[in-house]
Amino acid sequence: MEFVWLIFLPALAALFIPTLFRRVAGIHTGWFVLIIPVVLFVYYSTYVPLTASGEHAVSSFDWIPSLGISFVSYLDGLSLLFTLLITGIGALVVLYSIFYLDRHKEKLGNFYVYLLLFMTAMLGVVQSDNIISLYLFWELTSISSFLLIGYWYTRDGSRFGALKSMMITVGGGLMMLGGFVILGILGDTYSIRELISGLSDYSGDPLFTLAAVLLLFGAFTKSAQFPFYIWLPDAMEAPTPVSAYLHSATMVKAGLYLVARFTPIFAGSSVWIWLVSGIGLLTLMWGSFFAVKQTDLKGILAFSTVSQLGLIMSLLGAGAIAYHSDDTLFRLAMFAAIFHLVNHAVFKGSLFMIAGIVDHETGTRDIRKLGGLMSVMPISFTVAFIGGLSMAGIPPFGGFLSKELFLESMVALKHFELFNFDTWGILFPVIAWIASVFTFVYSFYFVFKTFTGEKKFDKLPLKPHEAPIGMLISPIILAVSVIALFFIPNVVGKWLVAPAVMAAQPQLYSMPSEAAVPVHAWHGITSVPMWLTVGVIVIGTLLFTSIKKWQPVYGLQPEKLSLNALYDGVMTFSEKGMNKLSRFYMNGLIRTYLLYMFSFFSVMTIVVLFAKGAFELDMNSLSPITLFAVLNSIVAILGTGMVIMSKNRISAIIALGAVGYSVALFFVLFKAPDLALTQLVIETISVALFLLAFRHLPALKTHGETKKNKVVNGIIAGGVGLSVTLVALSAHSNKLVASISQFYKDTVHTEAGGGNIVNVILVDYRGFDTLFEIAVLSIAGIAVLGMIRLRLSRKESDDEKE
Amino acid sequence: MELLMAIVAGLIFTAAIYLILSRSLIKVILGTGLLSHGAHLFILTMGGLGGSSPPVLADGATNFADPLPQALILTAIVISFGVTAFILVLAYRTYAVHKTDDLNSMKGNDEHD
């Protein structure tokens, strides 16, 4: 079966959602939607044994074969793991949303269409082997995320958050496209698998590092890494199921997926390793530190997501080190990354759902107003407790295992001896440990400030009570998984994580079993990670109990020095700056625009003419000067001067006529009888026209033009005149090919049966010109008539103004 | 001869551009009139002015002037006449409606962006 089509199943199903929403009013639309992720989850689960044996499945469909662009669904350990997360958590989120969103108050049709669209996009991102179609799905996730964040589009915050996330992620996506195109050109293929296999041919290219950096821009913006994380906290305006699904479990992991997927290509580059591990660590630290500052439940979770994504990112960077060293020590990192990725998706999903439940049942998400909910919401508390402690890295929950693996990998980094790691490597475990302490603090802060402590129920907008059981099903399932992950880590490791690790580092392993790291809860009394964890718990507890004393430290940071202020500043500046700039040069005056055009024209012509050595004056080709021509030139120049100098209309018109007649005389002198005739007639009619309009035209006025204006006009006009003269001379002196006129002269009688060559050219050789010249005259005539005869009445023109 | 004509064409262009850059509508129209004269002379000059007889078959004539630029100019004259007539009437209508021929006061305002 061509399972590539299954990527599009959610999007196709989305077509029916609006109808179902409108026609089937009795049943919550979500129930129909739920079928899709469940079916997909079950279907994709059947591939687990295949990938666990190190194999992969491919299914493809040509889209634009001539350009090498196709939809290729490539299922290996890594894409299958992500696929199962997307469909599995997708099913739970849909189930949760059925109880979270009211059937009568919300526009469910919109919601589920966006959500299904997103699901297709995400499946496409993780399964695509073709980087162009990968980019297509990548941007589709940005768009559907934009729609979902702005779901409550009547709120300012939603629109702001949606726009911000769109700007940042699409900006990064475009950079990523640049990286893809470079890779495509270097490797001469768009297929990731072929890029990996042909790696040695192009990895030395100077553009290779640029491709790596551009690609990382895409990954960092999508996965909310420093400094691009700022969109994620604002995206919390989305409905909570969306936050749980997109902004914790799936979309923000697309960047991680990208980094993992391209590790086999870029792992050789030190820039890649430093950027991925360094930025990841910085994000981890930054996010965990600022999470404690937040007062909004979802805000805390947003910063916690940022921080955890940084953790996984730094592990992915460390995972690339395994390519440079045979030491098995470094092979741990990639396993830890993927394992924590699974853990995080599970516990963060449950925590978001709990935040949504608290919001739903109490009417607020402000942690300062909450407290003591444990007694009324025992089940929610239990789930939050499990999720929170897993996040903090405490046994017996899944997060503990991956946190230990993380610390172990970071400690190992200081043994790495390439790329200056022997000097700076020590920073990694230190920062990682401090960040773990803060992670511990905010996890406790989230769970215990909400559910324990003083009861302040009378201040809450709603009277708190336990959520309906339907809403609790999904978080409970996730919480159970959190515990299960602790007790059966090696089962998950064998079937899901190890195949993914092998897919991310195909050159290192030939079988998934080689990549599997035995995970133990107990490392022995002498192990470093064990003592680091003990340290985290001790210091974290101290910090948490004294949180009231040191939390004011966050007030010290002025609002103006934050990254959000920077983003806002850049946005306002570019908008205002551009506006100012275009108002500066587009001032609405015709003279200004003409000045631009004429000065550009003359400067370009003269500069190019001399810079390229194109100017040449061939004195031999000049024909002899006659006295008549000199005299006539004087007449023409005098007439021209008169037109400029004259103070009244009549003399200007007469002078213009004089120039016209002298031009006619030139035509006589240069043997052009037809031209002379036409010029005489036309000039006569023109002067007559001018005189006819004479009475209606305004007097010649200078309109207060200053001397300076006139001098500028004069200089520009002189420049244009000079360039015309130079071009005429140069063109005359540089005849590259012979004129075709000889053909006309030779054949005018034999072919066309005429004697007047000019006339025969006009009506026979080049008759089309004449046809449309007639058209021009007719159009001009009709237009003149129209302008004189047609009038909109005053009333109509008034209407038009409004 | 071509040198002289190139200079004449250049001078006519200079005057035309100078007029077009002024603020008075009527001067702009005079400028376009001059501009077309300059352009026609320019085309004629670049083709070469060497012919000793008009491009009409006649006994004994061999050294014809180049007929092709002449045909082009003939077309150009007619078109520029049509355009001149059109903008003349346009100027007349503009003046009749707006009661001004100052180009600086004929610009859009911000409400019509």
Where among A736, A771, A789 does a domain terminate? A736
A-contacting residues in B 27-46 (Cβ below 8 Å):
27, 30, 33-34, 37-38, 40-42, 44-46
pLDDT confidence band for A690 (50 / 70 / 90)? confident
A-contacting residues in B 59-78 (Cβ below 8 Å):
64-68, 70-71, 73-75, 77-78
Asked if A436 and A407 touch (Cβ cutoff 8 Å), the reply is: yes
Q: Is residue A140 part of a domain?
A: no
Count of domains in chain A? 3
Tell me whether residues A777 and B82 touch, CB distance under 8 A.
yes
Q: Is residue A340 part of a domain?
A: yes
Q: Is residue A146 part of a domain?
A: no
In this model, does residue A325 exceed pLDDT 60?
yes
pLDDT confidence band for A387 (50 / 70 / 90)? very high
Tell me whether residues A703 and B4 touch, CB distance under 8 A.
no
Asked if B100 and A697 touch (Cβ cutoff 8 Å), the reply is: no
- Between A559 and B107, the more confident residue is B107
Nearest to A118 by CA among A241, A298, A275: A241
Does residue A456 share a domain with residue A534? yes
Q: What pLDDT score does A522 carry?
A: 65
Q: What pLDDT score does A419 carry?
A: 67
Dist CA A727 CA A721 (whole Å)? 10
Does residue A751 share a domain with residue A721? no
Q: Is residue A124 part of a domain?
A: no
Which residues lie below 8 Å from residue A384, measured CB to CB, with a gap of 6+?
A: A350, A351, A354, A446, A447, A450, A451
Q: Is residue A409 part of a domain?
A: yes
Specify the pTM. 0.83
Does residue A748 share a domain with residue A723? no
Does residue A220 share a domain with residue A367? yes
Using an 8 Å CB-CB cutoff, list chain A residues near B79. Answer: 773, 776-777
Tally C-beta pairs within 8 A across A and B: 274
Using an 8 Å CB-CB cutoff, list chain A residues near B53. Answer: 671
Least confident of A252-261, A424-433, A498-507: A424-433
ipTM of the complex: 0.95
Q: What is the mean pLDDT of residues A522-540?
A: 79
A-contacting residues in B 89-108 (Cβ below 8 Å):
89-93, 95-96, 100-104, 106-108
User: Which residue of chain A comes nearest to B71, CA vs CA?
Assistant: A758
Does residue A748 share a domain with residue A702? no
What is the residue-averaged pLDDT of chain A? Answer: 88
Tell me whether residues B108 and A588 touch, CB distance under 8 A.
yes
Where among A568, A597, A630 does a domain terminate? A568
Using an 8 Å CB-CB cutoff, list chain B residues near A744. Answer: 67-68
- Token code pair at residue A385: 């407790």
Per-residue pLDDT of A290-318, as tens digits, reads 888 888 899 999 999 999 999 999 999 88
Range of the domain at A162: 157-568
Does residue A683 share a domain with residue A542? no
Does residue A303 share a domain with residue A375? yes
Per-residue pLDDT of A498-511, as tens digits, reads 899 888 888 888 88
Dist CA A335 CA A56 (whole Å)? 19
Q: Which helix (H) or strand (E) holds A679?
A: helix A673-694
In this model, does residue A123 exceed pLDDT 90?
yes
Does residue A745 share a domain with residue A732? no
Per-residue pLDDT of A344-357, as tens digits, reads 999 999 999 999 99
In this model, does residue A799 exceed pLDDT 60?
no
Q: Is residue A447 part of a domain?
A: yes
Q: What pLDDT score does A802 carry?
A: 46
Per-residue pLDDT of A474-505, as tens digits, reads 999 999 999 998 888 888 888 888 899 888 88
Does residue A652 share a domain with residue A507? no
- Between A288 and B48, the more confident residue is A288
CATH number of the domain to which A682 belongs = 1.20.120
Q: What pLDDT score does A801 carry?
A: 52
Q: Is residue A92 part of a domain?
A: no
Q: What is the mean pLDDT of residues B90-111?
A: 79
Q: What pLDDT score does B109 carry?
A: 63
Per-residue pLDDT of A610-665, as tens digits, reads 998 888 887 877 888 889 999 999 999 999 999 998 888 889 999 999 999 999 99
Asked if A337 and A284 touch (Cβ cutoff 8 Å), the reply is: no
Does residue A563 share a domain with residue A421? yes
Q: Which helix (H) or strand (E) holds A57?
A: strand A57-64
Where among A568, A595, A616 does a domain terminate? A568
The span from the first CA to the last CA of chain B, in angstroms, equals: 52
In this model, does residue A700 exceed pLDDT 80?
no
Q: What pLDDT score does A625 carry?
A: 87
Does residue A799 share a domain with residue A659? no
Does residue A754 share a domain with residue A732? no
Would you mind telling me the total number of residues written for chain B in this entry? 113
Q: How many CB atoms lie within 10 A of CB A275?
A: 21
Q: Is residue A392 part of a domain?
A: yes
Å between B36 CA and nearest CA of chain A: 10
Dist CA B87 CA B104 (whole Å)? 18
In this model, does residue A798 exceed pLDDT 60?
no
Which residues lie below 8 Å from residue B23, measured CB to CB, with a gap of 6+?
A: A591, A702, A703, A705, B102, B103, B104
pLDDT confidence band for A515 (50 / 70 / 90)? confident
pLDDT confidence band for B75 (50 / 70 / 90)? very high
Q: What pLDDT score does A127 carry?
A: 94
Q: Who among B7, B15, B21 is closest to A643 (CB)? A: B15
User: Which residue of chain A comes nearest to B18, CA vs CA?
Assistant: A717
CB crowding B27-42: b at 16 or more within 10 Å, else e: bbbbbbbbbbbbbbbb
Tell me whether residues A698 and B103 touch, CB distance under 8 A.
no
Q: What pLDDT score does B108 carry?
A: 65
